[in-house]
Amino acid sequence: MTIRQLVPYKTVLGDGTVVIADRGGAQRALETLTLALPLVSAGRDTALVAPLATAGWARAVTAAARRAGAEVRVEPVLSADFVGLTVECVGGRHGMPVRAVPDWIAAVAEPWRNEPREQADEAALRDAKRACLAGLTTDERWSSGVLRALFGPHHRYGLVHDERVARIAGCEAEDLRPVTRDLLTGPPVVALSLADPADEEAVRDALATAGRHPGQPGHPGVLPAAPRSPLPGQRPVALSLPGGRDTAYHLLGTPGVSLGSPDKFAVHMAWAMLGGREGMFGRRLREGRALTYSLAAFSREFAEAGYGVCMAVCRPGALREVADRTAAVLGDLAEGRFERALVASAKERLVIQNHRALQSGRDVTRRLCGYEIAGLPAADLVAYADRIGRVTGEQVRDVARRRLCIDEGGDEQGERTDGTTGVAVPGQEHGR
């Protein structure tokens, strides 16, 4: 596999808008732009309804591009720390270049005003709701109880899936106006990948001319704002959930680290060693007899915090044994009882994931936005593979001891509880 080098170049416009261009690799016909609006200081209702706003924006930008004769792919972006749009289009002589995107986005603040007729507005809102709600069904929904237990009911990381669905389903056009104002209060982050240098310059000029925040002095970037809801104290939590007639879910959630934490790389290594078919969880749960139907283990990092989770699907009668074995595996990791070959294998998988992510303009631009909004330099994203390569088995052991299962007194932390509430928080993947 050819490894494309990521070469980010950052510009801060006079109104505080940050533009980050990835200048690495050969120029390609497909150009990508992601526009991100931070959620760090947004209100709770804004965080709940933001997916509907971005769904409306995506439809409006797509319609504007088509009226201009351009073929584009527009996707809403929803993460735990920002929302926005990703636009992919054909540049140069082969189609409408990415330099036109700011003009399309400029008309998006009120996406329901495209047609003068009230019925047309209602139809557009109804279509946007349908698309939005379909997109909210994620593979992470089963981790609902873990996220609510770790992050609480008030912080945006702990928003309940069913609550978001109900709020969006009942949302009217007038409800979106304060949400839009809240989202557009601060300057955005715009990231470009694989764009022609002339298109890159045109995007910066168009954004500067738009003057969304005239008179606001420039600053070195989007710095993390004070969150409206502080994170609660966190402890590991174990949940048992009914899955159906012959299935049950065992979930073990642990507090994680933020995107900028120096422990992030060791935490990634720990969860890479735990997960996968040949990981520590998989081996222990297959020992003697297969206890689980399926198994997943991973960590996620956000601007302010993160989490790790193991999910095992099993027979209801096997829940107790599955819970005991997963807890024992975390104890083994924290005591350094693992094969050194597992360390090398985990490093290889994480580095490959990182290199694959850098091949996609969509992945690159979204992660550049996420790092900027978290107050981190793009250089941290570039250095990921090198930092993973330096992690030792001892560092994995130490981070597991401090963060996954054992307190200073040596006792297992956490509480067992039933959790049936639904929550879905999109995450930051390993290697990003």
Residue 142 forms part of a structural domain: yes
* Least confident piece of the model among 73-87, 265-279, 372-386, 412-426: 412-426
Same domain flag for 408 and 345: yes
**Residue 343 half-sphere exposure toward CB, CA atoms < 13 A:** 18
Residue 176 forms part of a structural domain: yes
Q: What is the pLDDT of residue 4?
A: 62
Same domain flag for 197 and 292: no
Same domain flag for 13 and 148: yes
pLDDT-derived band of residue 324, with 50, 70 and 90 as boundaries? very high
Specify whether the CB–CB gap between 345 and 267 falls below 8 A: no
Q: What is the pLDDT of residue 1?
A: 45
Distance between start and end Cα atoms, the chain: 18
Q: What is the pLDDT of residue 371?
A: 96
CATH number reported for the structural domain that contains residue 336 in this entry: 3.30.830.10
Specify whether the CB–CB gap between 25 and 212 falls below 8 A: no
Specify whether the CB–CB gap between 129 and 97 falls below 8 A: no
Q: What is the pLDDT of residue 92?
A: 55
Q: What is the pLDDT of residue 196?
A: 74
Q: What is the mean pLDDT of the chain?
A: 80
Rg value, the chain, Cα: 23
Whether 425 shows a pLDDT value over 70: the answer reads no
Residue 110 forms part of a structural domain: yes
Residue 68 forms part of a structural domain: yes
Q: What is the pLDDT of residue 50?
A: 92
- C-alpha to C-alpha distance for 423 and 164, rounded to whole angstroms: 9
**What is the biggest distance separating any 2 CA atoms in the chain, rounded to whole angstroms?**
69
Whether 206 shows a pLDDT value over 70: the answer reads yes
Where does a domain end: 210, 228, 246?
Answer: 210
The pair of three-digit structure tokens given for residue 241, joined into one six-digit string? 């959930």
- C-alpha to C-alpha distance for 291 and 235, rounded to whole angstroms: 26
Residue 232 forms part of a structural domain: no
Same domain flag for 147 and 279: no
Same domain flag for 398 and 272: yes
Q: What's the pTM value of the predicted model, to 2 decimals?
A: 0.85
Same domain flag for 168 and 107: yes
Please calculate the CA angle 146-148-149 and round it to the nearest 5 degrees: 65
Q: What is the pLDDT of residue 314?
A: 94
Same domain flag for 350 and 393: yes
**Boundaries of domain holding 387:** 237-418
pLDDT average, residue stretch 403-416: 48
Give the pairing of strands 72-78 and 82-90: antiparallel
Whether 48 shows a pLDDT value over 70: the answer reads yes
- C-alpha to C-alpha distance for 128 and 18, rounded to whole angstroms: 28
Burial class (CB in 10 A: 0-12, 13-18, 19+), 291: buried
pLDDT-derived band of residue 97, with 50, 70 and 90 as boundaries? low
CA nearest 105: which of 178, 47, 180, 176?
180
Task: Tell me how many domains the chain contains.
Answer: 2
Percent over 70 (pLDDT), the chain: 78
Bigger pLDDT: 84 vs 421: 84
Specify whether the CB–CB gap between 237 and 316 falls below 8 A: no
pLDDT-derived band of residue 417, with 50, 70 and 90 as boundaries? very low
Same domain flag for 134 and 175: yes
Specify whether the CB–CB gap between 32 and 196 falls below 8 A: no
CA nearest 420: which of 243, 293, 233?
243
Residue 335 forms part of a structural domain: yes
pLDDT-derived band of residue 387, with 50, 70 and 90 as boundaries? very high
Same domain flag for 187 and 317: no
Specify whether the CB–CB gap between 48 and 336 falls below 8 A: no
pLDDT-derived band of residue 91, with 50, 70 and 90 as boundaries? low
Backbone φ and ψ for 256, nearest 5 degrees, come out as -110, -150
Q: What is the pLDDT of residue 105?
A: 65
Backbone φ and ψ for 293, nearest 5 degrees, come out as -85, -40
Same domain flag for 339 and 198: no
Return the percent helix, strand and coil in the chain, to nearest 5. Answer: 45, 20, 35
- Highest average pLDDT, of 37-41, 257-261, 425-429, comes from 257-261
Whether 407 shows a pLDDT value over 80: the answer reads no
Same domain flag for 42 and 96: yes
Where does a domain end: 150, 175, 210?
Answer: 210
The pair of three-digit structure tokens given for residue 395, joined into one six-digit string? 């560092």
* Least confident piece of the model among 180-184, 213-217, 362-366: 213-217
Where are the alpha helices (H) located in 335-414, listed in sequence order? 340-357, 361-373, 378-382, 384-389, 393-400
**Residue 256 half-sphere exposure toward CB, CA atoms < 13 A:** 34
**pLDDT digit string (tens) for 4-15?**
678 889 999 988
The label of the residue with tokens 């603040």 reads 109
Same domain flag for 186 and 252: no
CA distances from 136 to 180, 201, 268 (A): 19, 35, 26
pLDDT-derived band of residue 412, with 50, 70 and 90 as boundaries? very low
Burial class (CB in 10 A: 0-12, 13-18, 19+), 278: exposed
- HEC per residue, 178-245: HHHHHHCCCCCEEEEECCCHHHHHHHHHHHHHHCCCCCCCCCCCCCCCCCCCCCCCCCCEEEEEECCC
Whether 349 shows a pLDDT value over 60: the answer reads yes
pLDDT-derived band of residue 136, with 50, 70 and 90 as boundaries? confident
Residue 148 forms part of a structural domain: yes
The pair of three-digit structure tokens given for residue 135, joined into one six-digit string? 């997109």
Whether 335 shows a pLDDT value over 50: the answer reads yes
pLDDT average, residue stretch 113-135: 70
Bigger pLDDT: 305 vs 93: 305
- C-alpha to C-alpha distance for 362 and 419, rounded to whole angstroms: 35
84 by DSSP, 3-state: which? Answer: strand
Whether 107 shows a pLDDT value over 60: the answer reads no
pLDDT-derived band of residue 163, with 50, 70 and 90 as boundaries? confident
Residue 429 forms part of a structural domain: no
